[in-house]
A and B are shown apart, each in its own frame.
Chain A
Amino acid sequence: MNTSANGTDTATNTATGTVSFCGLCGEPAAQDAQVVQGDTVTESERPTSDAHQSCQQRLAMEPPRYCVTCRRRMKVQVTPLGWTAECSRHERLTS
């Protein structure tokens, strides 16, 4: 499935699952994200919303690296006029 770059939004759901992680830094996206591949996320690991605001700004200048659903590192290809980012389990993002 192809989605646009705004599929990396940390605050919305995608067609394939809840957005649990930030596409840029890979940290949990929201307060209700409790589990990361079997590990419990502690309060100290949870980034502040300010941190993710800067991630959102940075996503204008770099492609996402983490799947927002499962936090796997994605295969990212950057070309002069676009990019794709693909999770082995979830969606393929393009721009």
Chain B
Amino acid sequence: MTTQPNPRRTSTYPILETARQQVLANGEGLNESQLLEILELPDEAIPEALQLAHEVRLEHCGEDVEVEGIISIKTGGCPEDCHFCSQSGLFDSPVRGVWLDIPELVKAAKETAATGATEFCIVAAVRGPDIKLMNQIKFAIDRIKQEVDINIACSLGMLTQRQVDQLAEWGVHRYNHNLETARSYFPEVVTTHSYEERLETCNMVKAAGMELCCGALIGMGETTAQRAELASQLAALEPHEVPLNFLNPRPGTPLENQGIMDGKDALRAIAAFRLAMPRTVLRYAGGRELTLGDLGTREGLMGGINAVIVGNYLTTLGRPADADLNLLVELNMPIKELQKSL
């Protein structure tokens, strides 16, 4: 993992030549039409695109990898209709509604910190938090802060200004609210709230001084052009972190028969997202096990990814934590330490 940036290297693919100068040397992300060119590169060009994305990540983010654990405090029964989500109460999904109690949450935070993770994200399947959930979150944050040395992030849906201010005051350092897909495709995937409502929460989070974590879910039937559109819309938001999810089609959801995204397209997307956002934390999130497998996981980490979710997701299981942590050791990629992430 000691590749040095080389802005003078030449490529047979003009867009990679351009990206080497524009992104690697000048630190300026690719625009939407340039991103589309990356996403349409032939298979033979993928290794070169990933290599360049890796050099960009090293140059603009450094060699550290940020490790995070995520946990659901309230699972299932969500009133929204995001067509990919097994936690929507509107679909015939086998996921039952359940709350996690605070001692279990604190125990999970301790276990997560023991892996070397610096981030612990508490997630709730809601449109937005009510008073009961906000009280639970405050209590959980207080207990975790007393007992565990880890940054606390939250993902509680759409927020009011007052809720944004409360979370910032309670010490939530990062808030997750995904765009999920391109603006032009969003109405195909969600009908119970709008893209603009999502943007509103994202902007309030940033204005309150919390770090914004704003992710993507690709492989939902969007076109390649819409994938470029999404990367470009995310870049415009300038989030601190982008978690990149690949659709894992869930039984009972409208997207259950969508099929699993092609691994090569997933690798193209990783390179493109890094070339769109040279300085952003780009995290491997859900679905990579299915879409990319072990080999692809490694290629992505050597192709622009600089953060992982360790262990399990909210309703599905991830790779064993040891497998990812050992892979980071093997790739000679140090885990970001807590003081560097504050």
Interfacial residues, chain A to chain B (CB-CB below 8 A): 25-26, 60-63, 65-66, 73-83
Q: Which 10 A-B pairs have the closest CB atoms?
A: A80-B69, A65-B94, A80-B311, A79-B108, A62-B316, A75-B98, A73-B96, A81-B111, A80-B112, A81-B311
Interface check B71, CB cutoff 8 A: yes
User: A residues within 8 A CB of B112?
Assistant: 80-81
C-alpha gap A18/B110 in the complex (Å)? 37
Taking a contact as CB atoms closer than 8 A, the residue among A63, A65, A74, A77 that contacts B104 in the complex is A77
Q: Which residue of A lies closest to B76 (CB)?
A: A76
Interface check B328, CB cutoff 8 A: no
C-alpha gap A25/B251 in the complex (Å)? 9
Chain B's interface size range is: 20 to 34
16 contacting pairs across A/B (C-beta < 8 A): A25-B251, A62-B316, A63-B317, A76-B75, A78-B312, A79-B71, A79-B104, A79-B107, A79-B111, A79-B312, A80-B70, A80-B71, A80-B112, A80-B311, A81-B311, A81-B312
Please determine whether A80 and B289 come into contact, CB atoms closer than 8 angstroms. no
Please determine whether A80 and B321 come into contact, CB atoms closer than 8 angstroms. yes
Tell me the B203-248 residues at the A interface (CB within 8 Å): none
Interfacial residues, chain B to chain A (CB-CB below 8 A): 69-72, 75, 94-96, 98, 100, 104, 107-108, 111-112, 115, 117, 251, 289-290, 310-317, 321
Q: Which residue of B lies closest to A75 (CB)?
A: B98
User: B residues within 8 A CB of A73?
Assistant: 94, 96
User: A residues within 8 A CB of B251?
Assistant: 25
C-alpha gap A74/B290 in the complex (Å)? 24
C-alpha gap A27/B289 in the complex (Å)? 26
Please determine whether B315 and A62 come into contact, CB atoms closer than 8 angstroms. yes
CB distance from B80 to the nearest CB of A (A): 20
C-alpha gap A60/B95 in the complex (Å)? 17
Please determine whether B95 and A61 come into contact, CB atoms closer than 8 angstroms. no
C-alpha gap A26/B251 in the complex (Å)? 12
Taking a contact as CB atoms closer than 8 A, the residue among A60, A75, A78, A81 that contacts B315 in the complex is A78
C-alpha gap A77/B115 in the complex (Å)? 20
Please determine whether A74 and B72 come into contact, CB atoms closer than 8 angstroms. no
Please determine whether B317 and A83 come into contact, CB atoms closer than 8 angstroms. yes
C-alpha gap A26/B252 in the complex (Å)? 13
Given contacts A76-B315, A80-B69, A80-B310, contact A61 B98 (CB under 8 A): no
Q: Which residue of B lies closest to A73 (CB)?
A: B96
Please determine whether B312 and A83 come into contact, CB atoms closer than 8 angstroms. yes
User: A residues within 8 A CB of B96?
Assistant: 65, 73-76
Q: Which residue of A lies closest to B93 (CB)?
A: A65
C-alpha gap A13/B268 in the complex (Å)? 47
Please determine whether B317 and A60 come into contact, CB atoms closer than 8 angstroms. yes
User: A residues within 8 A CB of B107?
Assistant: 79
C-alpha gap A71/B71 in the complex (Å)? 26
